[in-house]
Amino acid sequence: MQPEAHPATLRILHLEDSELDHDIVRQTLRRAGLPCELVRVESLDDFVRVLKGSRFDAVLADYRLPGFTALDAWKSLQAIPQHPPFILLSGAIGETAAVDAIKLGMSDYLLKDDLGKLAHVIQRAIEVQQAKRERERAVEELAASEQRLARFAEHLQTSIEQERAAIAREIHDDIGGSLAAIQFDLSWIGRHHPDADTQGHVQAATGMLQHAVGASQRIMMNLRPAILDQGLEAAVDWLAGEFERRTGTRTTVRTTLRQPTLSKNIQLTAYRTAQEALTNISKHARCSEVRIELSDAESVLTLEITDNGQGIQPPERNKTTAFGLKGLQERARTAGGWLDVSSREGEGTSITLSIPLTIEAKG
């Protein structure tokens, strides 16, 4: 058989000016079977000094002491990190004052004529304090995890944009160059072989070539929006025009930008938000009209994309695979802003990006 584990000895700091009351507390805890070591102090200076120099599992404090009260001791305790639970143990305090002390954050209170409950009160206070610290650690760990995730997401977005730019350059330099060479060769063949059969093949190949050129330009624009060099308004106008041409959906743009220049990071965030929103609309909205509004009123860049489609069902928005909206929300957050999505069944969807322009210096 395994030997029974003995409970750990608790170290308790007793703020008490009466040696007799201190001995009564010691005997009470011994009879209750609570293994503990009691250290008594009388002055506020000794209370602070002993607490800073040693670890205690709990503090028992009389309310009225020579020259100060337990409230003064409680205030001093707040300056000590990870301080132990503080329990009032007094016969000279009314219940109202005790309740007020608890509201200040003290763990518990007990009257001296009710010492039979002391061991239970101490154990409960320690358990509550431990649970509180575990919650605080969990919150701190969660916050640290969210910060790591945010940094990773920001790094990932940057890496993705860099990779997109590299692919766009390869398409422009390699594929674009090859398509231009093919165009020269087709022109040479057309000039030197005037027979109808060859001319028919040349015209067909030229048509396919123009399609390939258009596709490569469209892919390059999606990968690296060079049109942003002309400003966010021009880029959003171009997106809207391409969307309307491709889908046949009436698309209107209204812009009221007063700030002449925006940081590249903010422009790219707004552009990608509009791009992804329009992609989602073309896939899911089943709408006949899209409105895009872009403004920088009150030093906040606001981009709103609204459709009159079927709306988004709550289960669809909360799906773990709904990466489109989640990605937009994370991109907005890494740019210092936020993304709101409002939707009602049969009444369309509105996606609003907001970025305070006070972060421009960081962009």
> How many CB atoms neighbour CB 220 within 10 A?
21
Higher per-residue confidence, 184 vs 251: 251
Instruction: Tell me the range of 208-217, 301-310, 343-352 where mean pLDDT is highest.
Output: 301-310
Q: What average pLDDT does this structure show over 209-224?
A: 81
**What is residue 141's three-state secondary structure?**
helix
List for the chain the helix, strand, coil content (%; round to 5). Answer: 60, 20, 20
Q: For residue 81, which phi and psi values (nearest 5 degrees)?
A: -65, 145
Q: For residue 354, which phi and psi values (nearest 5 degrees)?
A: -130, 130
Which helix (H) or strand (E) covers residue 207, if one does? Answer: helix 196-223
Beta strand ranges found along the chain (DSSP E): 10-15, 36-41, 58-61, 64-65, 68-69, 86-90, 108-111, 250-256, 289-295, 300-307, 338-343, 349-356
For the chain, counts of helices (H) and of strands (E): 11, 12
pLDDT tens profile 174-188 = 888 888 889 888 899
Task: Set out the domains of the chain in order of their start, with CATH numbers.
Answer: 10-136 (3.40.50.2300), 227-363 (3.30.565.10)
Name the pTM for this structure.
0.54
The pLDDT mean for the chain works out to: 86
